[in-house]
Amino acid sequence: MSETEIKVPNIGDFKDVEVIEVLVSEGQTLKKNDPLITIESDKSSVEIPSNLNGKIKTLKLKVGDKVSEGDLILTLENNSSIQEKVHKKPIIEKEFKKVQAIKSEINEITTHQNKVTNISSASPKVRKFARELGVDINQIVGSERKGRVIESDVKLFVASRSNNTSNDKTKNNERIKQDYTHSEFGEVEIKDIPRVKKLSSKYLMNSWTNIPHVTNHDEADITELEEFRKSLTDIYTGEKKKITPLAFIVKALTASLKKFPNFNSSIDEIDEGKMTVKKYYHIGIAVDTPHGLMVPKLRNADNKNINLISSELKNLSDQCRNLKIDKKELFGGSMTITSLGGIGGSFFTPIINYPEVAILGVGRSEKKQVFLDGKFVTRTMLPLSLSYDHRIIDGAEAARFNNELKENLGKNFAYKLAV
How far apart, in Å, do the first and last CA atoms of the chain sit? 74
Q: Which residues pair with 367 in a beta bridge?
A: 380
Q: Which residues pair with 75 in a beta bridge?
A: 5, 58
Per the annotation, the verdict on 112 as an active-site residue is no
Return d(Cα 225, Cα 410) in angstroms, integer: 7
Return d(Cα 177, Cα 189) in angstroms, integer: 20
The full DSSP string for 288-333 is EETTEEE--EETTGGG--HHHHHHHHHHHHHHHHTT-S-GGGGS--
Cis check for the bond before 35: say yes or no (omega within 30 of 0): no
Helix or strand holding residue 162 (H, E):
helix 151-163
Alpha-carbon dihedral sign for residues 371, 372, 376, 382 = negative
Contact partners, residue 269, CB within 8 Å, separation at least 6: 158, 159, 162, 355
Which ranges in 211-273 belong to alpha helices (H)?
A: 223-231, 245-259
Quick check: 225 and 411 in contact, CB under 8 A?
yes
389 in helix, strand or coil? strand
Return d(Cα 116, Cα 136) in angstroms, integer: 15
Return d(Cα 202, Cα 216) in angstroms, integer: 25
Contacts of 347-351 spanning 24+ positions with Cβ under 8 A:
347/217, 347/383, 347/385, 348/385, 349/213, 349/215, 349/385, 349/387, 350/215, 350/385, 350/387, 351/204, 351/207, 351/208, 351/213, 351/387
Catalytic residue among 87, 182, 282, 390: 390
Q: How many CB atoms lie within 10 A of CB 270?
A: 12
The set of catalytic residues is 390
